[in-house]
A = this chain, B = another copy of it.
Amino acid sequence: MTYLQKLRETTPLIHNLTNEVVMNFTANGLYAIGAAPVMSKSIDEVSDMASISSGVLLNIGTISSTDVEAMLLAGKAANKKGIPVVLDPVGAGATPFRLETCHRLLDELNITAIRGNASEIAALIGENQWQSRGVDSAGDGDVVKLAQKAATSLTCLIALTGETDVIANQNETVVCLNGTPLLGSITGTGCLLSSILTAFLSLEGPNVQKVVEAISVYTIASEIAVEHPHVEGPGTLHPYFLDALYTITPEEVRKRQKVETR
């Protein structure tokens, strides 16, 4: 049985502490793939909510000081329960506050995986040749080496996504080559992927394989959607991408998947 099938059978509940821009898209995307979302950033309940969940997603896209406290509480409850905690360091290099927040979360919590673009991953390990522009990645370079360096430096599974997606821990590196550039024209597609990774990571099995399958499912769904005759731009891609996440089969993933071990 694939991880996608296991996910759809178990519908893991994912507690998202995420930014206001992508909350709706994230919730709809988690439902579409077969998981269940819950959203809460209130310090009055984040520990309780994390404790009834199967995974916790921390996304700093519109982070405030209060949100940082909520993330620490939810992350600690998740660590105590032994469920995965995924960090999405949105725009980590854009402001000092975002970078400090990421380091604080990495210091005080046991983070299972980090999903970010090249600029964000580079910012986390002080690689200044990578540039960010707001929350988007800019610059070009060897993303495989960057992901490997970050995995070693942060002792954490890294999912560096972009034109090429790189999954690296301290021992293994896998590259995924599916996807469509148009997906980047929809806001929150990286954020939703981070939430979906959290759902896959909540299943039994080795983390690298689960993340590779999750990224393949996600990017192949975007390929299927963009090929739909009704898709004419980013606006129409949005509903058809959600449909593709809902309807994609393990067979379609197997046929289209482009994965290389590095």
Contacts and interface: CB of A to CB of B under 8 A. Distances in A.
B24 A246 contact: no
Interface string A95-134: 1111000000000000000000000000000000000011
Contact of A48 (B21, B42, B96): B96
Given A24-B188, A186-B28, A234-B246, A65 B36 contact: no
Interface string A77-88: 000000000000
Contact of A41 (B39, B42, B62): B62
B38 A94 contact: yes
A216 B63 CA distance: 35
Interface in A128-167: 133-136
Contact residue range for chain A? Answer: 35 or more
Contacts of A186: 28, 31
A192 to B, nearest CB: 12
Contacts of A39: 19-21, 61-62
A21 B26 CA distance: 9
Nearest to A91: B38
A209 interface: no
Interface in A57-89: 61-65
Contacts of A64: 41-44
A7 interface: no
B240 A95 contact: no
A9 to B, nearest CB: 15
Contacts of A241: 235
Interface of A: 13, 15, 19-25, 27-28, 31-32, 36-45, 48-49, 52-53, 61-65, 91, 94-98, 133-136, 185-188, 230, 232-236, 238-247
